[in-house]
Structure formats: C-alpha cells, structure tokens
Amino acid sequence: MTWDSQLWRTAQRIEAAYLKCRGLPQALDVPWYAWQKLTAACRWAAEAERRGWRHAGARQREQLGRDLDYLLSDLRALRSSLESRQRNKLPTAGELYAELVAAEDEFGDVVVDDFELYVTTDPITLDGIYLGPFEIRLKLSRLDEPDPYRVVAVEPHPAQSSVDTTHPHVHNERICLGEGKAAVTAALAEGRLADLFQLINRVLHSYGEGSAYVELDRWHGTPCSECDQSLDEDDLYSCRGCDCALCGECVRVCDCGTAACHDCATHCYGCEETTCAGCLAACSDCEEEFCASCLEEGLCHACQAAEEERAAEREAELEAELAAEFGGDETEAAVHAARLGEVIVLARPRHHRNRRLRNLGRR
Ligand SMILES: [Zn+2]
Ligand SMILES: [Zn+2]
Ligand SMILES: [Zn+2]
Ligand SMILES: [Zn+2]
Ligand SMILES: [Zn+2]
C-alpha cells in the first residue's frame, strides 16, 4: 500500500472535526473530600476508644460507616466515568486513515469538499427499477448529531408521486436506516467510517416492502384499481368502502362527496344515481332505498303516485255513494261533495287524509 498524503490530510481533518464536535473529555474527579472526611472520622473513633468514651465511640463508629459509604459511591462514579471515556475514545488520525483506505477499496474514491466527506455507490436497480448511483455524504461539522449524513441521488429517478423521494428509503436526502440505525450510530461514534459507508450502501441496495417512503410497485404512479391506469397519488380518489385507489373516470361519487369503487357503490333505487349508504333512506311504503331527491315525505315517487290514485278512487266512490243517498237532489249532493273536498284539503298530511276519507266513508 503506497502512502497517500492527501488521504492523510483528510484523516487529520476528520480527527480535528471529531475533536471539535465532541470536545475534550472532562477531567476525572478524584474523591479527595470524602477521603479526608473518612480519615478524620477514623482518627476520632480511635481517640474515643483510647479514652474509654463509650457513647462518643459508638457515635464515631456510626459516622465512620456513613463516610465509608460516601467514599464507595464516589469511587464507583469515578470507575464508570473512566469506562465511558474509554467507550467514547476519539478516533486517531492513524485509525481514520486506515478507514479511508478501506472505503477507497470499496467505493473507488473518497472525496472531501468544503463541508462533507463522501463516497459514490454503484448505480442501483431495485426490482427492475433503475434509481442510479448515490453519494453518501458525511457532514464533518456535525459529527455529534444523531444523523450527520445525507444521501444524494447523482442522476435522480424519483418516484412519480414525490420528486423528493429518490429511493424507497430516501426522502429529502435523509435515509431511513430501519434496524441498521444502531450499527451506523456505533460506527460513527467509533470513527469506523468504512463500516458506516458500507452499512448505508447496504441499505441503499435493499428494499424493505412496507417500510418504504414510496413502495416500488407504485414508483411510476399508483394504478387505478379498476382500469389499471397509473396516476399521481394526488389525482386519485380513494374508495370509502375498501380504500382502493380510483381514477377520475372509474370513481363513483355521491352528491355529498363520498367516493366509491364499483363493488362498494350503492345506488338510489329510483334515479339509479350513485348515492352513499349514509345519504340513502328507505321509502316507508315499499322499503326500497332512495336518494333525498327521490323521496318526498318518506315516500318514493311510485308509492306517492299509487297512494294518490287510491285516494282519488276512494273520493269518486264516496261521491257516487252520496249521490245515491240524496237521490235526485244533486245540489245537496254537490254541497256534501264540496265539504268533503274541504275536509280533504284541510286534512294534510296525506296518510291522515286517507284515514279521514275512510272514516267519512263509514259514516
Ligand atoms: Zn380507472
Ligand atoms: Zn371499494
Ligand atoms: Zn334518486
Ligand atoms: Zn352521500
Ligand atoms: Zn316506495
């Protein structure tokens, strides 16, 4: 392996970036104070015993126990801060140089510009859909942030429904790493840059159905579930019944705006217009379902006409009966008939009118 001085300068720059982001670790805090308290308590306890002060000796021994506990807890804190310093050890320029060499082996080139270090992946094709190569870019000034990397499409082939989605798992240059996230975070913390690029590259080469920003089978638009024409998400309707996607030509829409597919659509029994279940009501006579404009006072047009016909028949029958009862006196019969007419007019609504007609007939 030949020495690459440019790569070495890059490694030094990254080392400085890590140092700047994370800062120098805090000094280790030795528990002097607890130690001094403990030694003083020891002295006093010995003195009390020597002089035969029983009460004072017992008190000092209790104090000694408490001071020992303080010291032990301070010592444990010191131990764990030492461990965390070891865990958060900053990578050295030498280690970073080795990482850059490994990344170069994998990706061909490692480039650093003003703010970012990046590699470029192979052109990526998933499930027959060409997405092109991607740059995995690490922001050197933000190494302490949760995800200081972005993924940039070199020749973008975004989803039809979203120009910002250049890969099923990349939206607005942010990659969704799913279960790989923990491994990437650990690699970043330890300065394992070659691992970091490789882990992200692996996610870019895979497709997790169900966890994508845009699923691959909808990459070129969403097909209408009835005619199969692919359209933008924004131009599609969704069936209220089964949630399927529908184009403007296949969708059936109720006056209230509810959309339905062929299978889920309900219709008015009268005018046959698409009417959602919520806007249908049953005729109180025939019990078929109708839209609002095909019902009047709870009856459909046909039932209304039938009822009017029946009423007219009864009226005619009654007139004939009255005429027979009053013999040839046509004037009186006419007066009765006219009164009957008034009753009929006054006795709305219709179903009440019929009852009255029946009662009149009986009298
Ligand atoms: Zn369609
Ligand atoms: Zn449906
Ligand atoms: Zn109707
Ligand atoms: Zn409706
Ligand atoms: Zn009816």
Q: What is the pLDDT of residues 343-363, one digit of tens each?
A: 554 444 444 444 333 333 333
247 closest CA partner among 232, 262, 237:
237
Amino acid at the residue 317: E
**Euclidean distance between CA atoms 109 and 88, whole angstroms:** 28
Looking at beta carbons, which pairs linking 213-217 to residues 24 or more positions away fall under 8 Å? 213/159, 213/162, 213/165, 213/168, 213/169, 213/170, 213/171, 213/176, 214/159, 214/161, 214/162, 214/165, 214/168, 215/168, 216/126, 216/127, 216/129, 216/168, 217/127
pLDDT band at 273 (very low <50, low <70, confident <90, very high): very high
**pLDDT recorded at residue 174:** 96
Which pLDDT value is given to residue 24? 67
Instruction: Give pLDDT tens digits for 284-325.
Output: 999 999 999 999 999 999 999 999 999 999 999 999 998 888
pLDDT at 236 over 50: yes
Both tokens assigned to 19: 């140092």
In contact, 309 and 296? CB cutoff 8 Å? no
CA 30, 32, 37 angle in degrees (round to 5)? 145
Q: What is the pLDDT of residue 354?
A: 43
3-state DSSP assignment of residue 184 = helix
Looking at the predicted structure, is the pLDDT value of residue 238 above 90? yes
Q: Which ligand number lies closest to the CA of residue 251?
A: 1
DSSP string, 308-356: HHHHHHHHHHHHHHHHHHTTT-HHHHHHHHHHHHHHHHHT-SHHHHHHH
What is the identity of the amino acid at 168? P
Confidence of residue 28 (pLDDT cuts 50, 70, 90): confident
pLDDT in tens, 135-158: 999 999 888 888 899 999 999 999
Q: What mean pLDDT is reported for the chain? A: 86
By the CB criterion, residues less than 5 angstroms from ion ligand 5 are: 283, 285-286, 300, 303
149 closest CA partner among 187, 205, 95: 187
Distance between Cα 217 and ligand 2 center (Å) = 20
**Ligand that lies nearest to the alpha carbon of residue 239, given by its number in the listed order:** 2
Q: Read off the pLDDT of each residue in 91-97 and give the average, rounded to a whole number.
A: 94
Task: Quote the ligand 4 centre to 147 CA distance (angstroms).
Answer: 47
Instruction: Reply yes or no on whether the pLDDT at 327 is more than 70.
Output: no
Q: At what angle do helices 350-362 and 301-325 cross, to 10 degrees?
A: 20
Written as one letter, the residue type at 44 is: W
Quote the pLDDT of residue 208. 82
Backbone angles phi, psi at 235, to 5 degrees: -95, 5
Find the 287 Cα to ligand 5 centroid distance in Å.
6
Cβ 273 vs Cβ 256: under 8 Å: no
Nearest to 267 by CA among 277, 256, 257: 277
- The pLDDT tens digits for 159-196 are 988 899 999 999 999 999 988 899 999 999 889 999 99
Question: Tell me: the pLDDT tens digits for 194-228?
Answer: 999 999 999 999 998 888 998 898 898 888 999 98
Q: Are 141 and 153 in contact (CB under 8 A)?
A: no
Give the number of the ligand closest to the Cα of residue 304: 5
Say which DSSP state 168 is in.
T
CA distances from 199 to 154, 203, 303 (A): 19, 7, 73
What is the model's pLDDT at position 290?
96
Main-chain dihedrals φ then ψ at residue 46, nearest 5 degrees: -65, -40
Ligand (nearest to CA of 241): 2
pLDDT classification of 1: cutoffs 50, 70, 90: low
Check whether 16 has a pLDDT greater than 60. yes
Strand-pairing partners, residue 295, are: 300
